[in-house]
Amino acid sequence: MPHTLKVSVIMPVERVGGDAERAIASVLGQAAPFNFELIVVSAAELKLPPHNHLRNIVEPDRNPAIRRNRAVASAKGDFLAFIDDDAQAEPQWLATAVAYFDGYPDVLALGGPDPAPEDSSLPELISDTLLATPLIGSGVAAHESRGGVFDVASPSDIALVNLFVRRSAFEPFDESIGYIGEDTALLERLMRRGRVVYHDGVRVFHRRRAFPGAYLRQRWFYRVKTGEMLVRGSRAHRSNRKIQAFMAAGTLAIILAPLVAVPYALVTFVLGARATRLPKRLWPMIPVAFAMHHATYYFGILYGAARALLNKRVASSE
């Protein structure tokens, strides 16, 4: 393997099997007209298939920012590609991203859509509906699988499950943030220095957490982190009008619950039905699922902000 490679793909892995095996195979099977490497980062050494493009780095600390920084430190590629162990990259994933970078040297980072795979279960497809529905879902371009190629308006428009960064432009992930938010913080910094682009041809398929339990637990954790980062002073979070509008609308909906319940059900049903891959017999579940989804977002942000404010007050009094 040459010392200098075109792309270093970085994938944190807990254990090999099932989704992780498919994720690794999807990277090693890339139709790329250049050399690349896959760096698998794990807490203990893994039994991986022998392959010239594959190597394993052991990092016992499960902080994902630490793991990815450790892998980047040994990466040899001109570009860094980040993917999760429950995702599968399309065969042209690497080639499409690198071709775009080569044509636009001012682009520092690039991401794309991450829809649920075709073999998703019904509970996973409910979760995908909640993330993919425009206007009332996640609000994330990658989760909505938006079409086109454009400069992102928000660092949260692309996700770490499908992210490319020029090695020369990369800054280490903030290890104090840990899980959730470290990618947004990186992209926020990169957007101040150059272009960050969404490209609908750079696609991976990302496994969703099953609704309701696993999905809502994950979303609660995400939104608690959002609330904490609002208090910590993240510019991207504080200036995000979507967060401001969502919290204002949520407060108003709670106050006027009897008046808005029926319109809410109609709007979520119509918009969700347009985006979902669920069979029609399950469409009546869409408004209920959205109500649980939105309540988790709203109270998660409130809880995260309140906890961060309390910790800030305690720290200042010591």
What CATH number is associated with residue 41? 3.90.550.10
What band does 237 get if pLDDT is binned at 50, 70 and 90? low
Per-residue pLDDT at 182 exceeds 60: yes
79 with 164, same domain: the answer is yes
92 with 228, same domain: the answer is no
* Secondary structure of residue 161 in the 3-state scheme: coil
What is d(CA 52, CA 20) in angstroms, rounded to the nearest whole number? 18
Q: Which of 153, 175, 206 is the last residue of a domain?
A: 206
- pLDDT score at 86: 94
- Give the pLDDT mean for 288-310: 94
178 with 231, same domain: the answer is no
What band does 318 get if pLDDT is binned at 50, 70 and 90? low
Residues β-bridged to residue 12: 41
- Of 163-177, 179-193, 229-243, the poorest mean pLDDT is in 229-243
Per-residue pLDDT at 117 exceeds 80: yes
Per-residue pLDDT at 206 exceeds 90: yes
146 with 180, same domain: the answer is yes
Q: Which domain holds residue 258?
A: 213-317
251 with 128, same domain: the answer is no
- pLDDT score at 236: 54
Q: Which residue has the higher pLDDT, 242 or 129?
A: 129
Q: Which of 173, 190, 206 is the last residue of a domain?
A: 206
287 with 168, same domain: the answer is no
172 with 51, same domain: the answer is yes
193 with 239, same domain: the answer is no
What band does 89 get if pLDDT is binned at 50, 70 and 90? very high
Q: How far is the CA of 159 from the CAs of 35, 110, 244, in angstroms?
A: 25, 10, 21
What band does 35 get if pLDDT is binned at 50, 70 and 90? very high
Q: Give the angle subtended at the CA of 139 by the CAs of 136 and 255, to the nearest 5°.
A: 40
Q: What percent of the chain has pLDDT over 70?
A: 95
- pLDDT score at 159: 93
- pLDDT score at 241: 75
- pLDDT score at 1: 40
Per-residue pLDDT at 20 exceeds 80: yes
Q: Which of 185, 206, 227 is the last residue of a domain?
A: 206
- What are the start-end ranges of the H helices in 29-138? 64-74, 93-103, 122-132
Per-residue pLDDT at 275 exceeds 90: yes
- Of 184-188, 204-208, 239-243, the poorest mean pLDDT is in 239-243
| The two three-digit tokens of residue 155, written as one number | 């660092």
Per-residue pLDDT at 164 exceeds 80: yes
38 with 182, same domain: the answer is yes
| The two three-digit tokens of residue 296, written as one number | 């988790």
What is d(CA 121, CA 124) in angstroms, rounded to the nearest whole number? 5
Residues 6+ apart with CB under 8 A from 169: 108, 109, 190, 193, 194
Which strands form 36-42's sheet, in the order they lie side by side?
A: 54-58, 36-42, 5-12, 77-83, 162-166, 107-111, 195-199, 149-151
Q: Structural domain tally of the chain?
A: 2
Residue reference for tokens 């990186």:
186
153 with 242, same domain: the answer is no
The model's pTM is: 0.88
What band does 240 get if pLDDT is binned at 50, 70 and 90? low
- pLDDT score at 15: 73
- What are the start-end ranges of the H helices in 201-285? 213-232, 235-238, 241-255, 257-275
What band does 2 get if pLDDT is binned at 50, 70 and 90? very low
Q: How far is the CA of 185 from the CAs of 80, 189, 192, 220, 247, in angstroms?
A: 17, 6, 11, 19, 22
What is d(CA 159, CA 143) in angstroms, rounded to the nearest whole number? 8
Contact assessment for residue 187 and residue 171, using Cβ atoms and an 8 Å cutoff? no
Per-residue pLDDT at 231 exceeds 90: no
152 with 258, same domain: the answer is no
52 with 101, same domain: the answer is yes
- pLDDT score at 3: 46
What is d(CA 153, CA 138) in angstroms, rounded to the nearest whole number? 15
- Give the pLDDT mean for 29-34: 93
